[in-house]
Amino acid sequence: MIDRRGFLRSGTVGLAALGVAPQLLPAEEQKAAPPPEPPRAPAPARRTLGRTGITLPVVSMGVMNADNPSLVRAALDGGIVHFDTAHGYQRGRNEEMLGEVFKTVKRDSFTVATKVVPPGADRSTGLFGPETKAEPFVEMFHLSLKRLQTDHVDILLLHNATRREGVLFEPILKAMQRLKKEGKARFIGVSTHGNEPEVIRAAVESKVLDVVLTAYNFRQAHHAEVLTACREASRAGLGIVAMKTQAGGRFSKDNPKPVNMKAALKWALQDPCVTTAIPGFTTFDQLAEDLVVLKDLQLTDAERLDLAGATKSAGLYCQQCETCVPQCPRGLPIPDLMRGYMYAAGYRNLLHAKDLVESLSLAEAPCSSCTGCSVHCVQGFEVRPRIEELLSLRRVQDAFLA
C-alpha cells in the first residue's frame, strides 16, 4: 500500500517521466501543492503475540551472550521492550544482570521470557525419564524469578524441546500451568531449535501453551516447513517468536563472507505470523543495526542478493530430509553418507566416518554404474563426489585414521 508521501513522491517522478517539471505547472497548482513534510522517523513495527494479547516491537533482545547492563538499558532506550534469557545462561548471571537493570525501571515497561530445562532431560533424545520431576523444575524457576528481581515473568518456556513427547510431558506441563495460575508466569510456552515443526505442532496439541520460541532463518533447509507450522500455530492462537534468525551465517565453513545480519533479521520477520525476533548483540553498534530493522522491515534488492549468495554455500550439515533417497537409482543411504562425510571433513573424525561407512555394507564402487548423478540435494551438496571421497576411507587401515 502506498502512503501519502509515497504517492507524492511517485507522482513527482511520474511527472518528471512525462517531461513535466513541477515549476512548469500553473501557478495556482503550485500554490495548491502542500508544503513538504518534515522528515519523520517511522514508528517501530509492532505485532501481537497471539492470544497473549501482548503487543511487541518486531525486534526484541536475545540476552544470552550479553554481559553488559548498559547494553540492555540502551536497548530499552532504543525501543526494545522484550528480553529473552534462560535459567542456564552464564550459569544464572545473565538473569542476575537483567534483574539489576529491571529493578531500575517500571515493571510494565518491559516483558521478559525465561527458559528452564527440567533436570533429567536427555539432550540426545529430547525425552524425559523417570528422573524428571516437576519440583526441581519449579525450584529452578523460582530461582530465576529471584535473579530477575521480579515476582513474575511474562513468558516461561520449556527450554529446548525437540520431541512431541517432551512438549507433552505431563509433569512439566502441569507444573507450568500451575505457575501460570499462580501468576508467576503470565504465559507459558516452549522453545525449540531442533525438529521444530513437530515441536510447534505439539505445542498446539497441548492446548495450554501460549507461545513458541523457534529457530527460524533463511539458511534452514526446512524453513518452509517451520513457517508452515508457525502459521498453523498462529492460527490456533499461539504467539510465535523467532530466534537464531542470523544463525549459521557467521559460522559457515564454506562461506567466509559474513552474512548480512540486518537482511537476515528482516527475512525472518517477513511473515506476520512471526511476532518478534530475538537477535543477540553484544555491542552498541550491533544494537543500532537491529534498531534500524525495527523501523524498516522492507528487504532491499541488495539485501535479497546478499541472502541468496549466502544460501548458495551449502555447508556440511545434512538436514536428513531424505528427499534425495528416492532419486538415487541405487537406493544409497545418502543422508547417512552425508553424515559420514561431515564426520570426516568437518570433525576430522576419520575413524568414526569409516565405522559408519562400513556399517552400511555398500558395494565397492556403488556410483560407478551411473554416468551422471540424478540426485539433486535440496541443500546443494555435490552428493556423488562426496560419496566417492568418503568411501575411499574403506581402503585405509584403522591405525592410520586413529
Partner 1 sequence: MRVPILTGAVLLLVGLHAGAVPAALAPPVPLPGWATKEAPLRYTPEDLYEYIDGAAEAFIDADFRELISQEYEAPGGRSLTVDLYRHADPACAFGIYSQERPRQGAFLPLGVQGYYERGILNFVKGDTYVKLAAFGLGDTDRQGLLEAATAVAARIQGETRMPKLFQAFPAEGKVAGSERHLRRNALGYPFLERAFVADYSIGGKKLSLWILAPGDEAGAKTVLATYLKSQGTPDVPAPGTPLTLQDRHHGTLTILRSGAHVVILLGDAGPGARLLLEGVRQGLPAL
Contact positions vs partner 1 (CB under 8 A): 62, 64-65, 67-68, 70-71, 73-74, 90-93, 96, 193, 243-244, 247-248, 250-254, 280, 282-285, 316-317, 341, 343-352, 355, 388-390, 392-393, 395-396, 400, 402
* Closest distance to partner 1 from the beta carbon of 381 (Å): 13
Query: What's the closest the beta carbon of residue 338 comes to partner 1, in angstroms?
Result: 13
Provide long-range contacts, Cβ within 8 A and 24+ apart, for 366-369.
366/330, 366/332, 366/391, 367/330, 367/332, 369/330
Exposed, middle or buried: residue 107 (CB in 10 Å: 0-12, 13-18, 19+)? middle
**For residues 79 and 346, which CB has a smaller minimum distance to partner 1 in the complex?**
346
Number of H helices, E strands in the chain: 15, 12
- Whose Cβ is closer to partner 1: residue 100's or residue 232's? 100
Question: And the C-alpha cell for 234?
Answer: 498462529
Residue written as cell 517522478? 13
Give the nearest distance from C-beta 78 to partner 1 in angstroms. 11
Q: Which is nearer to partner 1, 152 or 352 (CB)?
A: 352
Q: Please state the closest distance from residue 282 (CB atom) to partner 1, in A.
A: 5
| Apex 369 CA angle, 367 and 374, nearest 5 | 60
Place of cell 537493570: 101
**Residue 48 or 283 having the CB closest to partner 1:** 283
Least Cβ distance, residue 137 to partner 1 (angstroms): 15
State the minimum distance, in angstroms, from the CB of residue 4 to partner 1: 36
Check if the beta carbon of residue 327 is closer than 8 Å to that of residue 340: no
**Alpha-carbon dihedral sign for residues 193, 197, 203, 209:** positive
Strands (E), 236-291: 239-243, 274-277
CB of 355 to partner 1, least distance (A): 8
CA angle 26, 27, 29 (to 5 degrees): 70
Taking residue 30's Cβ as centre, other Cβ atoms within 10 Å add up to 11
Whichever of 169 and 281 has its CB closer to partner 1, that residue is 281
Which of residues 124 and 371 has its CB atom nearest to partner 1 in the complex? 124
Phi, psi values for residue 199, rounded to 5°: -65, -45
Q: Which is nearer to partner 1, 92 or 380 (CB)?
A: 92
3-state SS, residue 83: strand
Q: Helices 261-268 and 301-312: crossing angle, nearest 10°? A: 100
Q: Which is nearer to partner 1, 158 or 204 (CB)?
A: 158
Residue 388 in contact with residue 337, Cβ under 8 Å?
no
- Strand residues in 165-294 grouped as ranges (E): 185-192, 211-215, 239-243, 274-277
What is the closest distance, in whole angstroms, from the C-beta atom of residue 304 to partner 1 in the complex? 24
128 in Cβ contact with 120 (< 8 Å)? yes
Nearer to partner 1, 304 or 352 (CB): 352
We find the least distance from the C-beta atom of residue 61 to partner 1, in angstroms, to be 13
